[in-house]
Structures are given as structure tokens and as C-alpha cells.
Amino acid sequence: MKKKTVEDIVLKGKRVLVRVDFNVPMKGGVITDDNRIVQAIPTIEYIVEEGGKAILFSHLGRVETVEDKAKSSLLPVAVRLQELIGKPVKFIPQTRGLALEEAIASMKDSDIIMFENTRFEDIEGKKESKNNPELGLYWASLGDVFVNDAFGTAHRAHASNSGIASHLETAAGFLMEKELRYIGGAVDNPVRPFVAILGGAKVSDKIGVIENLLSKADKVLIGGGMAYTFMRAQGFNIGTSICENDKIELAKELLVKANGKLILPIDLVVSKEFKNDTPHRVTTYSDIQDDEMGLDVGPKTIELYKKELQGAKTVIWNGPVGVFEMENFAKGTKAVCEMLANMVDAKTIIGGGDSAAAAIQMGYADKFTHISTGGGASLEYLEGKALPGVESLDDAVECNCHDCDCDK
């Protein structure tokens, strides 16, 4: 069933609670990547333009102690949002209480306020992350309608998404809608050929994703640390490469189930140390020494990826295929970025996490059809799991009339 979006609800004069995902990386109180803030702006601007009173809130990191609280304020985020959106953003350094209630009561149409990190409530019994019903009800009482634009937390039932949604009319923001349309559409109704590229360190992190995509994709290309578990399952010596020995039997089962759909690397870059400046060489899986570890895919594997991607119309990529944080072992991941960036007639989607970070870091952010803002949420969505934050959105009303302009 299609979900209601922010365009389906009346906003003028309404107190609009907006769950955004402003869980941005920070160092010394300075934001190091504002992509999630930028991605939320279209929804905020639309609410303001329609005369709604935008009340923004988000979590930021894990907050379990008073020390965590001291370094996890959303104030720097509010300052950055104000710079980006070009409108005043009033920051309320509370998650509940009289000051917050009075600030909301005094709002005029099109005003924007942001209140403090929702995870501050976790210091007292995990109220936010355990979906405390009293907290969800209290936050719901501050608004008239609820817009959830935080796909990054959609895989969790928290007081700030499911809790509020159980009390108010609830719709998806533009970012949430975009995530559901691109990732959900790519997996459930892809334009074929459909190719998935999966990297990352562990098979265990992506068992469900691999199984789901094997039933839907035409090919699944494997890279990154998880490839070594598959290679050991085939009897290869992988030296000191990362390997989940307890998942070898599972890897064997997946290889059989794949029936040729699973494409593994054929060469790799190895080194004796996990360091960027250590000596390294390209070799095949039949020639890895006992004291060597794989840190990237090799040039023949890159050419294999290119061959398998030829003619693809839908591509989903989740997880780097090497240790992209180290320049000497980033060639494979950079090559994947370049391949997808140059696919003119295909939908290219990055499923969040490290692969999204790699694409942005390497300057390819605007070369993809969609880069997800959700890490864990993207993975669970790719697995085909129901996400609480999505399930709690109201269903769109389908219009069966023939003589109106409602566009339902």
C-alpha cells in the first residue's frame, strides 16, 4: 500500500512535528559532513512554504551518560541548518518542559524551531530508544500532524517515530518517500537486468540481504572482506584475511543456492600488514601466502565487474570492495564508483553506510540516481524486512472517482 506523504496533509497553521535524521558526524563540536542536513531541506522548505510551523527533532549519537550528553547537543546542527536554509532556526535546548511548550505556543506560521537531541531521554531508562509510551504521547501533544523524514532510523521503533505516529496523522517527508521509492522500487520492481554489488567485512551482516537479492537480482557481485569467507568455503587458502569461520557452511549453501548468480573476485591485493604504506602485491586466490591478507580486489576483478555490469538497467551497491580508507587499497572501490557514475541509462542506487561515505568522499555524490541516508535501515529494507518507521506511516487514500483533480 502506498504511504501518505507530506503533500497529502494540510499544513497551513498546523504545528508540524518533523522527525529528521540529523545524526551527522562531528569532531570537536564541528560537523564534518552535512549531507543529512542538506537532504532534509526540501521537506522543511515545503512545510514552511505551505504555512506550517516546523518543529524539528532528531537524535545524535548514543547518549548513555552525562559525559555523552555534554558532547551531543544539536545546537551546532541548528546553526548549520540556519546557514543552509537561509531562514531563522530557533533552538530549544530541551526535550520536554515549559520552555519548549511556550516556544511552540508562540510560533507563527512558517516559523522553524529545533529541540534538543531526543536521545537525552535515554539517560533515564532508555525512554526514547525503548519507545516509552508516555514520552511518545508527550511529544505528540506538541503537534497537530507528524512528518517522518528520518529513514535512517526507520528500522527502529522509537518514541520519536512509532511512538508519536500512534497518536497523530503521520506522513512521509520527501526524503523518506524518495528512499522508499528508489530502494523499494529497485528491489521489488526493477528494470532489468538488475545487478547488486555487495561489499563490507562480514557475511553475517548481510546474510538476509544476499538471500533476498539472490531471489530478485540477475547477478550479485561480491567484494570486500566477506569475499574471503566465500573463498575459504571453496577450499582456497586466504592467509590471514578476515574470515568468519562459523559462516563457512552458510557460504557453501549460498553458493549452491545462487546457481551462478553470485560473482566472486578472481584476484586481490595482498599485504602482510593492515597499513596503507606497507608493501603489497596483486595475486590470485591460489597464490596467497600464509602470512598475507587481502585488502582490495585486483585489476582482473575490476574488469570482471565491468563485464557483469554491461547493459544493467538497475544497480544497487552496498559496501566497499576494499579498505577504501587507505589510498593503496581504495582502487577497487573507486573503480566501482567510476563504473556506476558513468552508467548513463541505468538507475544507480547506493544503499547507505560505508559505500555512501566512499562515493561522497571520492567526489561522486551527484553521479548516482540515489544515495541512501540510511545504513542499518537500508540493509534491512534490502533484506525485505518491514521497518517500524515505515509501517507507522499512514496509508495514502486511494481515490476511485473519475471527475476530480485530486491526483489520488
Place of cell 570492495: 321
Question: Average pLDDT for residues 41-70, to the nearest whole number?
Answer: 95
Parse the chain into domains and list their residue ranges: 6-175, 182-383
Could you confirm whether 347 is annotated as catalytic? no
Residue 384 a catalytic site member: no
Was domain 6-175 assigned CATH 3.40.50.1260?
A: yes
Of the candidate ranges 182-186, 236-240, 292-296, the one whose mean pLDDT is the lowest: 182-186
Instruction: Give catalytic status of residue 15 as yes or no.
Output: no
CA dist., res. 164 & res. 159, Å (int):
6
Active site residue 376: yes
CATH 3.40.50.1260 for domain 182-383, yes or no, is yes
What type of residue sits at position 278?
A: T
Q: Using pLDDT thresholds of 50, 70 and 90, give the confidence band for residue 75.
A: very high
- Residues 90, 126, 202, 313: which is the catalytic one? 202
Average pLDDT in the 19-27 region? 94
Instruction: Give this prediction's pTM.
Output: 0.88
- As a whole number, mean pLDDT of residues 252-280 equals 96
Q: For the residues 390-399, what does the mean pLDDT come to?
A: 88
Catalytic annotation, pick one of 143, 353, 375, 389: 353
Do 212 and 79 contact (CB within 8 A), yes or no?
Answer: no
Tell me, what DSSP letter sits at residue 61?
S
Residues β-bridged to residue 173: none
pLDDT at residue number 408: 47
Q: Do domains 6-175 and 182-383 have the same CATH topology?
A: yes
pLDDT surpasses 70 at 1 = no
Length of the chain: 408
- pLDDT for 255 equals 96
313-345 pLDDT, tens digit per residue, is: 999 999 999 999 999 999 999 999 999 999 989
Mean confidence (pLDDT) of the chain: 93
**Closest Cα partner for 378 from 175, 134, 75?**
175
Q: Which range (5-14, 156-165, 181-190) has the least confidence?
A: 181-190
What whole-number percentage of the chain has pLDDT above 90? 80
Which one of the listed residues 14, 19, 36, 156 is annotated catalytic? Answer: 36
